[in-house]
């Protein structure tokens, strides 16, 4: 009898050990599978834990033009309507071919991977940056994206001093440091021709940027931002909002500064004296764009700094 009870106890002990080992082994495998499916090596990644958000991000076309990725005819026809041009699709394609005789044929952009953790600051030009003292928070990031006439000299305490990528179109062009990437947002074929002309042989020192660090946004990406993110509100997205969405394809963690109106409701620029208190956002759905950024901040997908 005692021997029988002893065997039963031994069996139950082995069963308990097996159950515990199975449970922890199963949980460990689940954890490994979860870790293996992550898109970056950061503590938290942009698309963690939200399937719908990840699907929206993953539906984007290639963000940049390259020798191997071209704009489709459908995308071109949408883009051409933004600012009417007499140039047709064949002229656009010929111009793109000429671009890659001068600039890198494949943009130097590393895709997400589990071993990478890239932090980015997207810095807009809102007057709400003044008195913010955000400079150190901006410069600590691996990538700092600025746009249009955004400048740092004299404003370093509030906007930082570091710039790795500077986005503009011809009308907002600035001369860049030799180590800063020029990211062109072209709204018409003429803008691409302008870029080519800027890098023709000329007197040394007159070029606006390092030709080996030039990147050109794919017009199809503009269409994607307008239709998917903005649900076709406004005529087309602002440069700042497109820069923000573009950062999702370059970065694993994103901090956003300098977007929206200032504390008095003015859509002003930190580097200008405000003279027009009725200034708004033109053809862009500024309030809607701002609302999207706010919502992503509330959902902790990005770090959003509102300024003052």
Q: Select which of 236, 270, 290, 305 is catalytic.
A: 236
According to DSSP, the β-strands at 181-184 and 165-168 are: parallel
Please provide the distance, in angstroms rounded to a whole number, between the alpha carbons at the two ends of the chain. 82
Cα angle vertex 293, ends 242, 216, to 5°?
Answer: 15
Annotation marks residue 269 as catalytic: no
- Specify the pairing of strand 303-304 against strand 143-147: unpaired
Query: Which backbone phi and psi does 202 adopt, to 5 degrees?
Result: -155, -175
DSSP secondary structure code for residue 60 in this structure: P
Strands 119-123 and 143-147: parallel
* Among the listed residues 170, 238, 189, the one whose alpha carbon sits nearest the alpha carbon of residue 65: 189
Whether 236 is catalytic: yes
Q: Kindly name the residue from 165, 166, 269, 284 that is annotated as catalytic.
A: 284
Structure tokens belonging to residue 78: 């949408």
**Three-class SS state of 215:** strand
Residue 191 dihedral angles phi and psi, to the nearest 5°? -65, -35
Q: How far apart are CA 107 and CA 77, in angstroms?
A: 24
> What are the CA-CA distances from residue 100 to residues 70, 84, 95, 261 (Å)?
12, 24, 9, 39
Known catalytic residues are 236, 284
């Amino acid at each position: 009898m005692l021997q029988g009870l002893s065997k039963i106890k031994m069996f139950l002990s082995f069963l308990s050990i097996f159950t515990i080992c199975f449970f922890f082994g199963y949980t460990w495998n689940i954890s490994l599978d979860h870790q293996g499916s992550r898109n970056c090596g950061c503590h938290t990644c942009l698309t963690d834990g939200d399937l719908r958000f990840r699907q929206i991000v993953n539906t984007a076309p290639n963000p940049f033009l390259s020798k191997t990725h071209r704009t489709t005819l459908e995308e071109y026809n949408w883009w051409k309507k933004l600012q009417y041009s007499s140039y047709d699709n064949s002229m656009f394609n010929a111009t793109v071919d000429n671009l890659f005789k001068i600039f890198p044929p494949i943009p130097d952009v590393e895709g997400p991977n589990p071993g990478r953790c890239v932090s980015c600051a997207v810095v807009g030009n809102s007057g709400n940056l003044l008195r913010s003292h955000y400079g150190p928070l901006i410069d600590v990031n691996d990538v700092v994206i600025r746009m249009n006439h955004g400048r740092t000299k004299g404003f370093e305490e509030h906007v930082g001093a570091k710039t790795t990528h500077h986005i503009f179109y011809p009308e907002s062009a600035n001369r860049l440091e030799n180590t800063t990437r020029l990211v062109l947002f072209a709204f018409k074929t003429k803008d691409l021709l302008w870029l080519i002309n800027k890098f023709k042989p000329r007197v040394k020192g007159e070029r606006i940027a390092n030709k080996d660090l030039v990147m050109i946004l794919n017009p199809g990406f503009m269409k994607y931002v307008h239709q998917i993110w903005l649900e076709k509100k406004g005529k087309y997205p602002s440069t700042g909002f497109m820069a923000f969405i573009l950062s999702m394809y370059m970065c694993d963690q994103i901090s956003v500064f300098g977007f929206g109106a200032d504390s008095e409701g003015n859509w002003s620029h930190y580097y200008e004296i405000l003279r027009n208190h009725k200034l708004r956002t033109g053809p862009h759905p500024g309030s809607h764009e701002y609302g999207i950024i706010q919502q992503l901040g509330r959902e902790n997908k990005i770090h959003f700094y509102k300024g003052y």
